[in-house]
Structure 1
């Protein structure tokens, strides 16, 4: 993907809202570029309206970009530059697989026929023999653990089975690239969690190059080799899931990827990668490779799991110990969250479920400098 741009003309909407004139171009995708390595799961992550689905649909040929280049496996699918008439391969000739949010399963067909259909409608010269179609369909159904349901009407499947059927139909054509548009969002929480790992296993075993679109941060962290966080049509940060979670490059990414405590302050001193940041409730020591000068405003991102809660003090022995009072707690099953009032701030700490401290109790919070993240002010 190179310099992809897609705009929508919002002139009529502007006229209705303001009764004015003129043009107002809205960027759905704003000059984005990225590479997807063979065999990896690449995820476009962001809130609604950030441009992730428009990007995916542009790759599929369901949207027509204004400019840019889309190339898959050495084949140019779209190219538009310098106002010239763009070159665009029709969607049905791109040889890509796509799984939609709604699955788009044909209700009047059986499981077998749903999967066989993409092979049956191929051009005569590319269409496999009937025996080959049967072989390919049964192989994919076996991979998806749907072989015993081959003759069942598609409408008689559970939500999880329909999701696997949609995936089987996309895979049967052996696409060079698989596109997935929030395929798990219609499932209940427990099924969604189990299918995340199933998708990850299948993608790894089959080695399919995939682009996945989601607004679910956990989904992106579990499934992806690479994550591109999007906002307002732009890619804000691109990297490995752990890198983005532990080292967000801006406040938006830090707050969007999981839960975090955000403390504002300014850089008081710097010694190598060890910073001292002054906040309203005291100094914080932290380690960061980000190059920020003294006296500059910053934000310190502190994940709840990086906050330790103790009833005793070790002031002077350990850095970043603050005194506070528990104001709330929540049992999450696998963990307990405590909300601790420290001066002007409320800090969330996440710890072992066996430790539960009564609200109103005075405690001491400790924050390891290596687990804090320095984020430049946007």
Structure 2
């Protein structure tokens, strides 16, 4: 459905102090640095990363709100943008791309009713492609029914709740029946409880309607819940691209491991390898882990350990791999789990487990880490 190839977008940076007098051109800053990805039909693809990583610039380039320096953007085989390397430039205007977009601010027209907000994109189409009044009314009511807003069709848009306004913005984007839906952090203005419920509502709608979507967010939980696949971005580059479980369980670098969830990081050196079983020597002992990575013996690495992969016990388990002793520094009740922070030598390891298990700070404990749940991350 969507194919992005070698997309580059730069902006003017600040001039260096020394070069101002010479009238030198400002340095170029890469907002998007030669990225490529494909979004299959009916899937929800998420661009995930911190502020300034290039995710929104990428989305706006697809929408036609930013003009890339080079690369190609195709939707359903139709070229929306092509440029660079001396090739003939194609740049379809945003209003002619036929894509749906939901903004972070919703952009609801306050002087219109719910019905009129949704009908407006159809009413302003060119006469040749504009539906008749009857068809417009049918399409608007159909999408309002899907969004559970049909009973509010005559209400002023500003008298809706935050969640209802978010669904109204989504209805307005869907009524034109776009081949591709673009969503720029549409849930970020909502409170935590409403945001959580609408994640699942959005996921249900996307799958039931089969809408091909590109979703931008900095919220890693949101990305894991909603996505068919995720591209984790940093500094205009895609650091890792894959399915949510793959990225969470097998991050390819420390940045991805830190950004997707919470991890303990323990530096060490590969001491031995037998098939997929690695032995890593660290400052506080040896760790055994399973990894399909190909890393030579003697290489410096980082072992990433998710808190839920660490089991805390008051007694020694016996001859099991990766059992370390430590002392509980602090604990935190999270409702569905309890976090313990345990001092082991120079490291402070976070463990997350059953809320029924809560151990007093200062208690000597044993940590057990399943080799199959540890991840080997190359340094750098």
Does TM, normalized by the shorter one, top 0.5? yes
CA contact (8 A) 1:11 1:21 kept: no
Match of 1:377 in 2: 379
The aligned residue for residue 158 of structure 1 is: 161
Alignment partner, residue 36 of structure 2: 33
Deviation per CA, 1:278-321, whole angstroms, max 9, x where unpaired?
00100000000000000100000000000000000124x10000
Counterpart secondary structure, 1:300: strand
Find out whether 1:229 has 2:240 as its counterpart: no
Q: How many residues align?
A: 376
1:15 touches 1:21 (CA, 8 Å); kept in 2?
no
The answer to whether residue 282 in structure 2 is matched with residue 279 in structure 1 is: yes
Q: Which digits, 9 at most, give the CA deviation of each residue in 1:23-64, with x for residues without a partner?
A: 311000000000000000000000000000000000000000
Distance (Å, rounded) in 2 between the aligned partners of 1:276 and 1:17: 52
Match of 1:349 in 2: 351
Q: Deviations over 1:46-89 (max 9, x none)?
A: 00000000000000000000000000001000000314552100
| Match status 1:87 vs 2:76 | no
Q: What does 1:1-378 correspond to in 2, within 5 Å?
A: 1-12=4-15, 14-15=16-17, 22=24, 23-84=26-87, 86-315=89-318, 317-378=319-380
> TM-score w.r.t. structure 1 length?
0.98
DSSP 3-state at the match of 1:255: helix
Secondary structure of the equivalent of 1:284? strand
Name structure 1 gaps, 5 residues minimum: none
Cα deviation digits, residues 179-210 of structure 1 (max 9, x gap)? 00000000000000000000000000000000
What TM-score, normalized to structure 2? Answer: 0.97
Deviation at 1:20, TM superposition (A): 7.5
Q: Matched residues in 1 for 2:150 and 2:20: separation?
A: 58
Task: Tell me, in whole angstroms, the C-alpha distance in 2 between the residues paired with 1:328 and 1:21.
Answer: 57
**Structure 1 range deviating more: 18-27 or 227-236:** 18-27
State how far apart, in whole Å, the 1-side matches of 2:321 and 2:13 are.
53
Q: Deviations over 1:206-241 (max 9, x none)?
A: 000000000000000000000000000000000000
Cα distance in 2 between the residues matched to 1:134 and 1:18: 59
- After superposition, the Cα gap between the structure-2 partners of 1:242 and 1:150, relative to the gap in structure 1 and judged at 3 Å, is same
Please give the alpha-carbon distance, in whole angstroms, between the structure 2 residues aligned to 1:330 and 1:377. Answer: 31
Counterparts of 1:172 and 1:184, CA distance in 2: 20
Displacement after TM superposition at 1:176 (Å): 0.2
Distance 2:54 2:317 in 1: 49
**Cα shift readout 1:112-136 (whole Å, capped 9, x = no counterpart):** 0000000000000100000000000
CA contact (8 A) 1:260 1:302 kept: yes
Instruction: Check 1:166–1:238 CA distance in 2 against 1; reply closer, same or farther (3 A cut).
Output: same
Q: In the aligned structure 1, how far is the partner of 2:93 from the partner of 2:186?
A: 23
